[in-house]
């Protein structure tokens, strides 16, 4: 199989696997005071420092969770009930579904949050309800299109209006420089399995003085932010993956060259193909393409039969394939939004992977009568 679905999950890095195997042999609970517990605590805090270094924060700002979905829920369900929540219209499903009463801010055709509308709404809200707390949540990188949001500019706007901000940085971690938690940006969510760590572990990066009501109560672990015995094995793998991802964060140019060549060849061979967010600054590892009027799930299955793993939209909806709310928010009509697939590369991708993808997709488009197909 050619694996091109890194935005859904990455293969486990060897370094993460090794760290997890070592952690399996630790009998102690990290909250215990005896020597076995202290050894477990040492592994836990080493991983915390590794994740903190990836995020350029202090170790005590890292709160381990079961993943970014939990981290995001911790924020939205932990703020005071009178908080007015705004998000972009292209957030991940776990943000959309955990903020059902939030206001969704529109994006441009390129998939960028409309900053002028953001300013207008913040001016209206802070003028009309000066005492009401406001939380703005904007993802750093879109999981479907790879479009990078101007988070630094958005943070400046939030600071100007004295509102708090959260950032879902799952798809940015280990790939681009992460936004700096501090000032208006009070917290940020990341996930281990998006950087080559294990599934089922993540972190909320948070300012020490940002008050949130805990979702999970009990023994007071994770600085009373998230009780429950820590997932030592997963956290050890998370830390090792974070350290390795940080080492590689500046090595993405090779992926950009692969992605850009793939898109150029695709447009030349199949002129009807559309590339989502092409005009925006995008993550160099992601290409979201649409073959109009051919269902996305049909394309995914065809590629799977050809030995290539790609996806349609987010893979975090219990295996369901549905029309992308992200592409709808960007203004794409049904025949495009329902016909887009995502190709995403990562730490173990090879140049020949994209060559095979191009060849398989070109044959498929020709079979579906979506030519002309240039054989040169």
Active site residues: 316
DSSP annotation of 28? S
Name the nearest CA neighbour of 172 among 100, 231, 92, 104: 92
Q: Is 53 exposed, middle or buried (0-12, 13-18, 19+ CB in 10 A)?
A: middle
The alpha carbon of 44 is separated from its chain's Cα centroid by a whole number of angstroms, namely 24
> How far is 133 from 272, CA to CA, in rounded Å?
47
What strand order describes the sheet that includes 274-275?
A: 274-275, 286-290, 340-344
Task: Say if residue 204 is preceded by a cis peptide, omega within 30 of 0.
Answer: no
> How far is 14 from 107, CA to CA, in rounded Å?
39
Residue 289, SS3 per DSSP: strand
> How far is 80 from 126, CA to CA, in rounded Å?
17
Q: What is the dihedral of CA 304, 306, 312, 317, to 10 degrees?
A: 10
Name the nearest CA neighbour of 61 among 242, 205, 241: 205
The alpha carbon of 211 is separated from its chain's Cα centroid by a whole number of angstroms, namely 24
CB 167 within 8 A of CB 189: yes
Q: Is 133 exposed, middle or buried (0-12, 13-18, 19+ CB in 10 A)?
A: middle
DSSP 201-239: -EEEEE-TT-----SS-SS-TTTTTS-S---HHHHHHHH
DSSP H stretches of helix in the chain: 14-24, 35-55, 68-76, 93-98, 115-128, 151-160, 232-248, 253-269, 296-305, 325-329, 334-337, 351-367
């Amino acid at each position: 199989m050619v694996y091109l679905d890194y935005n859904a999950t990455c293969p486990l890095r060897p370094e993460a696997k090794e760290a997890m195997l070592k952690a399996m042999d630790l009998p102690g609970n990290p909250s215990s005071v005896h020597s076995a517990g202290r050894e477990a605590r040492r592994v836990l805090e080493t991983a915390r420092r590794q994740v903190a270094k990836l995020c350029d924060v202090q170790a005590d700002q890292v709160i381990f969770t079961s993943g970014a979905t939990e981290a995001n829920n911790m924020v939205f369900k932990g703020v005071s009930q009178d908080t007015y929540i705004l998000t972009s219209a292209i957030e991940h499903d776990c943000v959309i579904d955990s903020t059902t009463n939030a206001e969704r801010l529109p994006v441009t055709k390129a998939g960028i949050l409309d900053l002028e509308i953001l300013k207008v709404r913040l001016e209206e809200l802070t003028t009309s309800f000066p005492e009401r707390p406001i939380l703005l949540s904007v993802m750093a990188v879109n999981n479907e299109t790879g479009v990078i949001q101007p988070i630094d500019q958005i943070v400046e706007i939030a600071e100007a209006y004295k509102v708090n901000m959260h950032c879902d940085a799952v798809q940015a971690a280990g790939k681009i420089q992460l936004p700096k938690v501090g000032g208006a940006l009070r917290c940020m969510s990341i996930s281990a399995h998006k950087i080559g760590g294990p599934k089922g572990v993540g972190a909320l990066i948070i300012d020490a003085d940002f008050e949130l009501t805990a979702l999970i109560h009990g023994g007071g672990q994770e600085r009373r932010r998230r009780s429950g015995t820590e997932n030592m094995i997963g956290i050890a793998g998370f830390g090792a993956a974070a350290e390795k991802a940080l080492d590689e964060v500046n090595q993405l140019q090779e992926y950009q060259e692969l992605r850009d060549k793939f898109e150029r060849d695709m447009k030349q061979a199949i002129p009807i193909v559309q590339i989502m967010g092409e005009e925006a600054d995008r993550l160099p590892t992601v290409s979201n393409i649409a073959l109009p009027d051919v269902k996305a799930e049909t394309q995914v299955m065809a590629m799977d039969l050809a030995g290539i793993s790609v996806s349609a939209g987010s893979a975090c909806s219990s295996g369901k394939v549905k029309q992308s709310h992200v592409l709808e928010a960007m203004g794409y009509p049904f025949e495009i939004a329902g016909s887009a697939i995502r190709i995403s590369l990562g730490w173990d991708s090879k140049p020949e992977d994209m060559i095979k993808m191009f060849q398989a997709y070109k044959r498929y488009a020709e079979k579906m009568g979506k030519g002309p197909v240039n054989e040169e």
